[in-house]
Structure 1
Amino acid sequence: MTTRTYAALLRGINVGGHKKVPMAELRQVLAGLGHTDVQTYLQSGNAVFTTDRTASEDVLARELEAAIEGHFGFRVPCLVVDGAHLRAVAAACPFPAATLEGKQLHVTFTSEQPAAERFAALDEDAFLPEEFRVGDRVIYLYAPEGLGRSKLGEALARPAVVKGLDVTTRNWNTVAKLVELTAEHPPEG
């Protein structure tokens, strides 16, 4: 039986006192779905788990969303990505991650591969020195002043870019930690 390791990325929880999801309860919800080796990272909705199920990432995400809504009484968009995808995302980073502060580099995970047309209206030169690149179901964002001050980050979050996609953004420190946590439970079999 093959066991795979995944990261669950929850969007918009524990921000400004809204949609409170204590990490201990999130671990219980994941365990209640039959997942094992459940760990959480930070309070912003990052969890790692293993499962021997062969369900797709999308199916695992929809099950988690339903379980969270059943437990907490509100919907939380979730993305589930396997550890191999996280490692590939980190390895394919087009920016010099090792030389940047974690707050300067962000990865927006997307539920589907974003088509190039979504970015056609963006005048990339107008945002310099900020830059973005599209990867495999991710958008990499280099924002030298951080995401909170990023005009390009705002533009990438507009409906013209993300409409119809489930998206959630993590800074590079969090991406690196999730890579590390998913590597602690390499796939068996």
Structure 2
Amino acid sequence: MTNYAALIRGINVGGKNKLAMADLKRELEAIGLAKVQTYIQSGNVVCQSPKDHGTVRDEIEQAITRISGIRANVMIRTQQELDAIVEDCPYAEEAAAEGKSIHLSVLNEPLTGRQLEKLSAGISELDRFRADGTVIYCHYGQSILDSKLAANIAKLGDAVTTRNWNTVAKLQAMLRAME
């Protein structure tokens, strides 16, 4: 069995694209995922499955559509992948001190050169980021709400989902507890 973290893009607890995590958990268990747990009401799931990445992602996306009608994108990481992401964080010291200013954006496909250029366009010298394959580590030196970097990441659309570092650390701990 492989431990997976599923980061779901495009669902919320209230308003548009509402999906109750309890409903999602039940559906994911019904399709055969084991040890399903959700974390906060914004699309974070850990689970176990003997199936591969792509199959688990497809099954979760189909389950979401089936129970809610929402077509959400899911970014999947194994426990080993998430451990490597955490270990490679270039802002680890800042993350330990101020987790909410460090964010991780996750994609299913690596950024193109053109997307990387757009990501850098007009950002403040207070904001820093490092793109590495299918992850973008962000350190916001000011409010994320006022950040041009955050706005540029949002322009990537449904191809990316973002979590604050505290959530990343919690998901890592949940995966490790499943061992």
Other structure's SS at 2:142 match: coil
Matches within 5 A, 1:122-161: 123=120, 126-158=123-155
SS in 1 for 2:47: strand
Contact kept, 8 Å, 1:89 with 1:135, in 2: the verdict is: no
Partner Cα separation in structure 2 for residue 121 and residue 173 of structure 1: 27
Distance between the aligned counterparts of 1:9 and 1:126, measured in 2? 26
User: Given the alignment of the two structures, is residue 86 of structure 1 paired with residue 82 of structure 2, yes or no?
Assistant: yes
Question: TM-score, normalised to structure 1's length?
Answer: 0.85
8 Å CA contact retained: 2:95, 2:102:
no
Relative distance call for 1:147 and 1:16 in structure 2 (3 A) is farther
Q: Which runs of 5+ in 2 are unaligned?
A: none
What TM-score, normalized by structure 2, do the two folds share?
0.90
Q: 2:70 — aligned with what?
A: 74
The CA deviation at 1:61 is 1.2
1:93 match: secondary structure: coil
Instruction: Give the structure 2 partner of residue 61 of structure 1.
Output: 57
| Residue of structure 1 equivalent to 2:109 | 112
Structure 2: distance between partners of 1:14 and 1:105: 21
CA 121–28 in structure 1, closer or farther in 2 if over 3 Å, else same:
closer
| Secondary structure, counterpart of 1:127 in structure 2 | coil
Could you tell me which of 25, 28, 41 is aligned with 1:27? 25
Give the conservation status (yes or no) of the 8 Å contact 1:9–1:80. Answer: yes
Distance 2:171 2:44 in 1: 8
Q: 1:123 to 1:85 in 2, by over 3 A?
A: closer
Partner of 1:185: 178
* Structure 1: runs of 5 or more not aligned: none
Q: Confirm or deny: 8 A CA contact 1:5 1:48 kept in the other structure.
A: yes
Which of 47, 50, 53 in structure 2 is aligned with 1:49?
47
CA distance in 1 between counterparts of 2:67 and 2:115 reads 35
Q: Which moved more, 1:173-182 or 1:123-132?
A: 123-132
User: What are the Cα deviations for residues 105-143 of structure 1, in whole angstroms up to 9, with x where unaligned?
Assistant: 000001012133322245567411101101231001111
Q: Sort the Cα spacing of 1:51 and 1:122 in 2 relative to 1 into closer, same or farther, 3 A.
A: closer
In 1: Cα distance, 2:18 partner to 2:65 partner: 12
Q: Which runs of 4+ in 1 moved over 3 A?
A: 97-100, 121-126
Matching residue's letter, 1:59: T
Equivalences for 1:164-175 in 2 at 5 Å?
166-175=159-168
> Which shows bigger deviation, 6-15 or 96-105?
96-105
Aligned to 1:120, what secondary structure does the other structure show?
Answer: helix
